[in-house]
Amino acid sequence: MNISTKRRPLQCILAGLVLFGCLGAVGCQSDISGQTLPSPWYITDDVQYFAPGPEFKLAKEAAAMKAQAAEDALQNR
């Protein structure tokens, strides 16, 4: 039994610990039991802000339809 065969188990354990440490440091979003959990670095992520828009998205179309209905009512009188 030479010295390189004695070091092999120690090298495997050390490589496993390094791999486990790298996987723990990656930090990715995960889905557990239907919950989407953030990565460990979610606090440093840039914030995406979407300004609030109108509650009714089709306001212009509704106004145009109302104006058309009023115009039709005037023509049919």
30 phi and psi angles, rounded to 5 deg: -130, 155
Whole-structure pTM value: 0.32
Structure tokens at 69: 């209905």
Burial 8-41 (b: 16+ CB within 10 A, else e): eeeeeeeeeeeeeeeeeeeeeeeeeeeeeeeeee
The domain spans of the chain are 3-75
DSSP string, 22-40: HHHHH---EEETTEEEPPT
Candidates 50, 13, 12, 45; CA nearest to 28 is: 45
- Give tens-digit pLDDT for 8-66: 888 888 888 888 777 666 656 666 677 777 777 777 777 788 888 778 889 899 999 99
- Give tens-digit pLDDT for 63-76: 999 999 999 999 98
